[in-house]
Amino acid sequence: MRKSWWKILCIVLLIYTITGGLLLSVPAREILAETIRNLYFHVCMWFGMMILFTTSVVYAIKYLRSQNIVHDIYSVNFAKVGILFGVLGYSTGFIWASYTWTEYATNTQIFKEPKLLGAAIALLVYFAYLVLRGSIIDMDKRARISAVYAIFAYAMLFPTIWILPRLLESLHPGKEGNPALNFKDSDARLRAVFYPAIIGWTLLGVWITSLKIRLDFIKEKSILND
């Protein structure tokens, strides 16, 4: 029970997020209206993605310092689940845009949106990371090259997602900062669900990662015991 408290917390927070996201009242924002509820899913999944990718790069650095294959297993699995959250965040964001931006922008403008393009590039960089790992047979060589690439992929997140979209003309809100954390654009009702949602989605990502790591340990048991 002591080891499972965070899993119970994850379930409780996600039930609260889904229930609150669908049923609790939200501020009536221009253009967004009721679609602002997607904030609890789209944005919070992106936060979870960043936390998972950060953990992945930490373990990549630890592998380069220790050459311990366990660190490589942790790094790749945090990256894989981070990619999953990235795809979910991108998909929910694209659907959100299709219901809001089309009122004052053409489909061409939406497809050229810097935030969407930057996010797509960042995800493609991480997809290339998986392809790279799959192309190398030798375990030690794969781990070393993957660790270096993981650092590069993580560094690419900042210009593609956080910096360039804020320097270019964008349909996406929050050019001067993150609108989800802007107290002028949100209120207590949003924040009461938003912050628990970040924790809940992140814990879910860690939970999924821990299961994948355990599976990899079983697959590599003979190697790890050498």
Tens digits of per-residue pLDDT, 114-127?
A: 778 888 899 999 99
What is the rounded distance in angstroms from the CA atom of residue 48 to the CA atom of residue 148? 22
Q: For all residues of the chain together, what is the average pLDDT? A: 84
The pLDDT of residue 172: 66
The pLDDT of residue 96: 82
Task: Give me the residue spans of the domains in the chain.
Answer: 31-224
The pLDDT of residue 163: 78
Are the C-beta atoms of residues 201 and 14 closer than 8 Å to each other? yes
Report how far Cα 81 is from the mean position of its chain's Cα atoms: 8
The pLDDT of residue 222: 60
Task: Looking at the chain, list the stretches that DSSP marks H as alpha helix, in order from N- to C-terminal side.
Answer: 5-23, 42-66, 69-100, 107-111, 114-135, 139-157, 164-167, 188-219, 221-224
pTM (2 d.p.): 0.88
Identify the segments of the chain with pLDDT beneath 50. Answer: 176-181, 183
**Of all residues in the chain, what percent carry a pLDDT higher than 90?**
49
Tens digits of per-residue pLDDT, 156-208?
A: 988 888 777 677 666 666 554 444 445 455 678 888 999 999 999 999 999 99
